[in-house]
């Protein structure tokens, strides 16, 4: 049905904005080893609030997409839909990975502590230098771009 398709598109645009925008700024701050910028991003984004909101909207978008397939003249097993399922799975696995869950949050918290003078800035900057979070952000962006192209072009 057309309403589910519209809700799917609106949900996914909103989710991608939230789930790519903030992490992109985080990755840039980490690449630059800019502890104060990382602390500011954490403070401005409300900790993990944007991530939870974005993830919730992403899951709603998935539901609306499945409802679109179920109520429309689409086949759940079309190649482009199977590709989308795999890419969504990859995004969920990547964002649930230990790199994101155990590396990013403590780094964000240490950057806030360093900005407040409770920890040496240099110590946090060194941690940022060995972080794999920017690679995860790039992979996330690649997966989101691939899903968008898959949805628009339906290559399979």
Per-residue pLDDT reduced to its tens digit, 14-57: 999 999 998 899 999 999 999 999 999 998 887 778 888 999 99
Averaged over 70-95, what is the pLDDT?
Answer: 94
Tell me, rounded to whole angstroms, the distance of Cα 4 from its chain centroid. Answer: 23
Distance, C-alpha 150 to centroid of its chain: 18
CA distance 19 to 37: 18
Confidence of residue 102 (pLDDT cuts 50, 70, 90): confident
**Looking only at Cα atoms, what is the longest distance across the chain?**
60
What secondary structure does DSSP assign to the chain, as a single string? Answer: -HHHHHHHHHHHHHHHHHHHHHHHHHHHHHHHT-HHHHHHHHHHTTTTHHHHHHHHHHHHHHHHHHHHHHHTT--TT-HHHHHHHHHHHHHHHHHTSHIIIIIIHHHHHHHHHHHTTSS-HHHHHHHHHT--HHHHHHHHHHHHHHHHHHHHH---
What ranges do the domains of the chain cover? 2-153
Q: Other C-beta atoms within 10 Å of 72: how many?
A: 12
Residue 110 scores a pLDDT above 90:
yes
Tell me the percentage of the chain whose pLDDT exceeds 90. 76
Q: What is the pLDDT of residue 24?
A: 93
């Amino acid at each position: 049905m057309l309403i589910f398709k519209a809700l799917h598109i609106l949900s996914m645009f909103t989710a991608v904005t939230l789930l790519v925008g903030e992490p992109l700024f985080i990755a840039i701050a980490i690449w630059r080893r800019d502890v104060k910028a990382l602390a500011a991003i954490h403070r401005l984004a409300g900790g993990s609030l944007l991530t939870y909101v974005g993830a919730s909207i992403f899951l709603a978008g998935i539901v609306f997409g499945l409802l679109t397939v179920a109520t429309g003249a689409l086949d759940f097993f079309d190649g482009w839909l199977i590709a989308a399922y795999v890419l969504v799975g990859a995004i969920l696995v990547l964002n649930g990975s230990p790199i994101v869950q155990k590396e990013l949050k403590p780094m964000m918290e240490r950057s806030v502590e360093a900005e407040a003078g409770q920890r040496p800035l240099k110590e946090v900057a060194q941690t940022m230098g060995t972080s794999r979070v920017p690679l995860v952000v790039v992979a996330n962006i690649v997966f989101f771009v691939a899903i968008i192209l898959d949805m628009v072009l339906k290559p399979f």
